[in-house]
Structure 1
Amino acid sequence: MKKYILGLITITGLLATSCRKYVEVDPLSNSRIIKYTTDYQDLLNNTSVFEYSYLYPLYSSDDAGIDNATLQNSMLPQQYLTYQWADTRLGITDIDVDWERLYKQIYTCNLVTDGVMSSTGGTAVQKTAALAVAKVHRAYAYLTLVNLYAAPYNPATAATDLGLPLLTTSSLYTSLKRASVQDVYAQIIKDLTEALPDLPDLPVYNSDPSKAAAYALLAEASLYKRDFASAGSYADKVLALKNTLTDLNTYAAAPSTLPKKLADPETIFSKLVSGNSYSSITLSSDLLTLLGTSDLRYTLFTGNANPATYGKIYYRQNYTNEGVYIGPNVPEMMLIKAESAARAGDVSAAVNELNTLRKKRFKPADYVDLTATNAADALTLVINERRRELFGRGFRWFDMRRLNQDAAFAKTYTHTFKGTAYTLEPYSNRYTYAIGTYYITLNPEIVQNPR
């Protein structure tokens, strides 16, 4: 089957899944065959495809505390089943927007990696640059998917744990059998390391891949793999290229002047939450207590729901109306560096990194340095600071998954919905989302996750 595009940007014949039955659609009459290097560049420049990421981790983390009865009654089944950590969140014909959006990104990247090097009209530098960009986008999509639909990385079992259908070609006849978790991570790391030589240090627009973005994704992948030394090393490489922090004191009196996405000095690789239902996800009392009212992240980034009696919501997006930013950024890299140091027993390095960040998050009169007497204390400080800095954006779900392997952090979580308490026990299979029955019915070679 030939590959086509519409208007040089929109892929036709693709309904946003990895499934063969959803890509083989006759091209429209006003489309044309992808031929020129600029065609492939235009595919990659489509931010409506590439900039949006996940939604459902916002419901499943303990940052969410949707306690109001009216809000609960307004939730759709996929939302409240995710909030309840149900065995399955989807009916037999329901689509999964997170699965579809990310596999659409992968398919688009595969069109580029398959064809750009033999395309017409571009220089060798332009072609290799487009190839590198596609590999970074593909790595991001797989890193997100493997942390939604596959077991948390366990070095002892990753070689046999079910990962994902690992598609690296746009061929409609590639096997959809699930590769192992280990193989998925190997592909992510391969894509990123191969892309690095042909990327700029920093992008013109922060929605574009760069060396800083590739190193940031390598830092995240290493963190999820529990390769903490590599995670810290990659975070250092990022911070050598970009280390600017926003001083929240500057915006305390005028939060509406907070920088927009493209001007945000902290953003390394811009990604956004998919959808806008986050406006009704109220924050848990546990999170709000951890933040504390003197923290400028509480003052600026929490706000009243509408009406206020519903509770507090994550509020940062209301100042810029651009959605919730969830891509890698400078504070996250500092926190990865601090965690790497704490796990290596370097207490002072870990705490110093935290304090450098926290000084930009409190008014001077309210700021007090953190201190730790040992590595365990330092690690607890890091994990708590990750939650404060990254709250309301889904990062906490990924942390809950990986921290199950640390006895100090494995715990039972509870969400209450319409008077019933739903619990998530340590090591539960429900830390991994079920793959939609819809996709398995169409493609039986995709094996469901253990429930």
Structure 2
Amino acid sequence: MKTKYIIILFALAVAFAGCRKYVEIDQLSVRTLKYTSDYRYTMNNNSVLEGSFSYPILSGDDTEITDATRQNNLGDILGNVYSWAALYTADTQSDADWDKQYKTIYTCNEVINGVLNSQNGTEQEKQKIYAEALVHRAYTYLVLVNTYARQYNSATATTDLGVPLLTTPNLYTKLNRTPVAEVYNLIVKDLKASISRLPDLPEFNVRPAKVSAYALLAKTYLNLRDFNNASLYADSTLRLQNTLIDLKNYENSPATLPLRLNNPEIIFSKIAAVTYQAISLSNDLLSAMGTTDLRYKLFTDTRSRFGGQFSTSFTGRASSKYFYNEFSISNGPSVPEIMLIKAECLARAGQTADAMTVVNNLRVKRFNNANYVPLTASSAADAFRIVVEEKRKELFGTGLRWFDQKRLTLDDAFTQTKTRNYKGIDYTLTPNSNRYIYPIGDKYILLNPELQQNPR
């Protein structure tokens, strides 16, 4: 029987996740999940469950690596990601993002499969743990389907290849790719099933709660182009959590910015699986921000901040968010992201003034009083453009821009050709290009021939 490579490695993480003391004799060298507390400890394993995507940070047009030192330091895999190459990994190399997501899914499936029948726990505890696993799994599949599959399109979603849809911890499940529509169906089903079992807000933002499920439903329906439901779930999210950090309070003391576990803007904490200390930013993004924007002042910096990671000739600016967030890059759902989803839905519905009110409610927290000027829109289309631009400024350096670029290829107003130069060669990304779909690693296809490659 063939071992499924992308899953077999993950068994160990769960097998040793429980921390309970033994009170009976179990089979030697075998660790089983038996008690409700075992499942609780498993769901507390943030080293597995908090991990998110990282490669899209290099793919998006908010990133621009022109410095020779930085380009040379990328290496082969990251260089391939940055240049939108046909393949990212050789047949002996692993895809860190793919591995991370399926490791999370395996862990969640272990919990979903067993916690409701576990021993020595209350029914409420079991239901809560079960729901947390559903939310984590839904988030992970949302990342996977938006990374390794075509953008959802109602005309083709039932036939477009999605990703392997694993819903049990069976190590020998075939890895045929499930259609995009079916992957989204599971995401919505998991999130809706979790809501009644969860508290409104979590004890810590690394744990799912109702607010997390609502936020992910808003993101999911946005990708499904169901803007009415995306708007409604954005409202549900913001009724529970809507606090923004006022950056003017930190203009002269950036080191006191709240860390992610205490950050009131973070709804559901997720961090990049691979971290980049120096993400150089595109000139057009920096120009659009302007030097009075406190996001520019607080979250970007010059070469001196990053030392030898740039050559002495580098004159641009790089994202310094990594240093203000416990040496990690947060890219989970946040209050600003959900506000901008709401604003986009309003603009698409022709509610220009309401969309701009949401945008300005965010922007007023991003400038000192002397430099703040409310934005106005001449039309719904203009408001839509402003929302997209504001989202790029707010979420730069997180990888979320890549998913917006891909999603907006279905909107004529945002179709554009992107180019970048890497090690002396020009690379082009055209609207609706297959390069918006990440390749499946050859290593996984060789071991699992039923796993089809994406068109390149």
TM over 0.5: yes
Distance, in Å, in 2 between the alignment partners of 1:22 and 1:447 is 22
CA displacement, residues 44-77 of structure 1 (integer Å, 9 cap, x when unaligned): 1100001111110011111111101121122210
Distance apart, 1:319 and its partner CA: 2.8
Residue 413 of structure 1 is matched in structure 2 by 418
C-alpha distance in structure 1 between counterparts of 2:71 and 2:396, whole Å: 21
Tell me the residue number matched to 2:170.
Answer: 171
Contact between 1:159 and 1:182, CA under 8 Å: does it hold in 2?
Answer: yes
In the other structure, the counterpart of 2:148 is: 149
Using the size of structure 1 for normalisation, the TM-score is: 0.94
Structure-2 residue corresponding to 1:397: 402
Aligned to 2:270: 271
How far apart, in 1, do the equivalents of 2:336 and 2:383 lie?
17
1:384 to 389, 407, 422: 389
Q: Which residue number in structure 1 is paired with residue 296 of structure 2?
A: 298
Alignment check: 8 A CA contact 1:64 1:283 kept: yes
| Length-normalised TM-score, structure 2 | 0.93
Query: Match of 1:160, as an amino acid?
Result: T
Identity %: 50
| Alignment CA distance shift 1:33-1:20 (3 Å) | closer
- 2:248 corresponds to: 249
Amino acid at match of 2:417: T
**Structure 2 residue identity aligned to 1:315:** S
Q: How does 1:74-113 map to 2 (within 5 A)?
A: 74-113=73-112
Of 406-415 and 305-314, deviating more is: 305-314
Cα deviations across residues 77-99 of structure 1 (Å, max 9, x unaligned)?
01111111001111011100100
Q: Does the 8 Å contact 2:230/2:342 carry over to 1? A: yes
Output the amino acid matched with 2:43. L
Q: CA deviation at 1:101?
A: 0.5
* Cα deviation 1:388-436 (Å, max 9, x = unaligned): 1111110100001000011110100111112221010001000010000
CA spacing shift, 1:172–1:319, aligned 2, 3 Å? closer
Alpha carbons 1:268, 1:327 under 8 Å: kept: yes
Q: 1:292: how far off? A: 1.0
Pick from 444, 447, 451: which aligns with 1:439?
A: 444
The answer as to whether partners of 1:109 and 1:134 remain within 8 angstroms in 2 is: yes
Q: What residue identity is the alignment partner of 2:289?
A: L
SS at match of 1:324: coil
CA contact (8 A) 2:7 2:102 kept: no
- How big is each residue's C-alpha offset from its partner over 1:333-354, in whole Å with a ceiling of 9 and x where there is no partner? 1100000000000001100000
In structure 2, what is the Cα distance between the partners aligned to 1:24 and 1:209?
A: 24
In the TM superposition, residue 31 of structure 1 has moved relative to its aligned partner by: 4.2
CA RMSD of aligned residues (A): 1.8
Amino acid at match of 2:106: Y
The separation in 2 between residues aligned to 1:32 and 1:316, in whole angstroms, is: 39
Report how far residue 39 of structure 1 moved: 0.6
* Distance in 2 separating the partners of 1:105 and 1:132: 15
- Contiguous gaps of at least 5 residues in structure 1: 2-13
Secondary structure of the corresponding residue to residue 39 of structure 2: helix
Contact 2:201 2:211 in 1 (8 A): yes
Post-superposition CA distance 1:241-280 (Å, at most 9, x none): 010010000000000000011110111001111122x223
Equivalent residue for 2:326, pick from 314, 317, 321: 321
8 Å CA contact 2:321–2:397 kept in 1: the answer is: no
Q: Does 1:450 align with 2:449?
A: no
Task: Specify the SS of the correspondent of 2:271.
Answer: coil
Within-5 A mapping of 1:60-79: 60-79=59-78
